[in-house]
Amino acid sequence: MPANLFREGKDDTAIGAAIRKAADKPVSDGAVTDAQGSHYFGDLQNHAVVKVQAGGTAPETLVKDKRILWPDNIALGPQNWIYVSANQLNSTPAFTGAGDEGKPPFFIYRFKQD
């Protein structure tokens, strides 16, 4: 959707009419977009990081590992490195209804995108 609609003070109807679905994505928390317009999401249900190419391709799993508990805060680094924190948010009282069940150590993982 063109951001200029907001800057021009268009009404909700005009803004709503301009919204288009770009692609499917997983249930996610962290996300980042690269200079080419591809989007990277933490895939909470699969302990993974996925990529949706610019133009709206189906999500492609880049890395999947059971240690990536609640992937969040994805960052793109130099030389195709991708960083993601495993923050274990699903083990906090807001999700468990009990005490904090997170288990240190907590990690930031990195992997290389080819």
45: domain range? 22-112
b/e per residue 17-38 (b: at least 16 CB within 10 A): eeeeeeeeebebbbebeeeeeb
Note the helical H segments in the chain. 4-7, 12-18, 93-96
pLDDT of residue 3: 82
Answer whether residue 15 is part of any domain: no
pLDDT of residue 1: 56
Beta strands in 44-101 (DSSP E): 48-52, 60-64, 71-76, 81-86
Q: What is the pLDDT of residues 5-57, one digit of tens each?
A: 989 999 999 999 998 888 889 999 889 999 999 999 999 999 999 999 998 88
Answer whether residue 2 is part of any domain: no
pLDDT of residue 71: 93
Answer whether residue 12 is part of any domain: no
Q: What is the pLDDT of residues 70-99, one digit of tens each?
A: 999 999 999 999 999 998 888 888 888 888
CATH number at 34 reads 2.40.10.500
CA 102 to chain centre: 21
Answer whether residue 40 is part of any domain: yes
* 0.95 exceeded by pTM: no
Determine the Cα–Cα distance for residues 6 and 17; give it in Å rounded to an integer.
13
pLDDT of residue 77: 96
The number of domains in the chain is 1
